[in-house]
Amino acid sequence: MSDATSSIIFEHPLNEKMRSWLRIESSLQQLEKQRCLDSQSSSLAFFRTIAELIEILERGEVRSELLKELERQQTKLKHWLSAPNADAAMIHTLTEQLKERSIALSQAPRLGHSIKEDRMINMVRQRLSIPGGCCSFDLPTLHLWLHLPQSSRDQTVKLWLDSLAPLQRALESILGLIRQTAPFTPRIAHNGFFQGNADEADLLRLKLDIDINSLAYPQVSGYKTRFAIRFLPMDSEHGIVPANLSFELACC
């Protein structure tokens, strides 16, 4: 993120599988940014994120849903070949990538099993729910590990994240294609409200300009085909939402 950002994209899932995928994607992105464990605080942030990821992976059939979606996206790409001016070379490349990532995901060990069974992760995970429960006297093993050479910790973290690579790559391909299925189109919210249809869509994406004089954010309610968006001021007491608020919307 940059101070020069002039617009922001909000995403809202329209079904449970997309909700789960966005949460997994967020956790994986955080882990990548947190991978340099050079202090207790950075290490605990990493372990909290990996514990959250384990919980998400335990809740549903993530692998089977991803494999179904990889197959569905390959079928869609085949249909696109018959479209006028279709880029056959790009479609072929994307199809082969989806095939490769589908095979890698199907052949990978049970998702999250490696990190869930890791002794260090398991020890820290058990203490995270206790306020201040990760002090050196609570987790002397972690305290010792944090004093090992940085290269040693880096190698361990690499092994943990490498075990999640088939999941990360499959999800990257799927969400990348879904996000590209619909362009952003201009819309106007009257008195902070907008509603519409999203037939067969999985994801709503809203692009909103950042106006320092009227900071507002979208509160989305919707499921499957119907959705409603209400824009609310960031300052709930003194903020104002313009009577006609322009934004861009993509139903992916």
Asked if residue 143 and residue 29 are part of one domain, the reply reads yes
Residue 59: predicted pLDDT:
83
Question: Do 159 and 234 fall into the same domain?
Answer: no
At 175-213, the pLDDT tens digits run 999 999 999 999 999 999 999 998 889 999 999 998 776
Shared domain check, 153 and 214: no
Indicate whether 221 and 157 sit together in one domain. Answer: no
Number of structural domains (the chain) is 2
pLDDT number for residue 232: 94
Q: DSSP assignment, residue 135?
A: S
pLDDT at 214: 76
- Asked whether residue 203 falls in the same domain as residue 238, the answer is yes
Q: Are 95 and 76 in contact (CB under 8 A)?
A: no
**If DSSP codes are grouped into helix, strand and coil, which group holds residue 47?**
helix
For residue 1, what pLDDT is reported?
Answer: 52
Written as tens digits, the pLDDT of the chain (252 aa) is 545 568 899 999 999 999 999 999 999 999 999 999 998 899 999 999 999 999 999 887 899 999 999 999 999 998 888 778 878 889 999 999 999 999 999 999 888 889 999 999 999 999 998 998 899 999 999 999 999 999 999 999 999 999 999 999 999 999 999 999 999 999 999 999 999 998 889 999 999 998 776 789 999 987 667 899 999 999 888 888 989 999 999 999
Look at residues 148, 179, 210 and tell me which one is the last residue of a structural domain.
179
> Can you read off the two tokens belonging to residue 99?
């095939």
Domain with residue 84: its CATH number is 1.10.3900.10
Q: What's the predicted TM-score (pTM) here? A: 0.92
Position 79 scores a pLDDT of 86
- Separation between Cα atoms, residue 150 and residue 131, nearest integer Å: 27
Q: Residues 201, 216: contact at Cβ < 8 Å?
A: no
* Within a domain: 7: no
Q: What is the C-alpha separation between 42 and 34, in angstroms, rounded?
A: 7
Place of tokens 């934004």: 247
What is residue 4's predicted lDDT score, i.e. its pLDDT?
Answer: 54
Strand-pair partners of 206? 10, 249
Contact 174, 68 (CB under 8 A): no
User: Edge-to-edge strands of the sheet including 226-233?
Assistant: 7-13, 203-209, 244-251, 185-190, 193-197, 226-233, 216-223
Residue 96 structural domain: 16-179
Answer yes or no: do 39 and 145 share one domain: yes
Spatial contact of 17 and 227, defined as CB atoms under 8 Å apart: no
Would 9 be classed as within a structural domain? no
Q: What is the pLDDT of residue 84?
A: 81
Do 105 and 166 belong to one domain? yes
Q: Give the CA-trace dihedral at 45, 47, 51, 53, to 10 degrees.
A: 70
In a domain, 77, yes or no: yes
Q: Are residues 26 and 147 in the same domain?
A: yes
pLDDT in tens, 80-95: 887 788 788 899 999 9
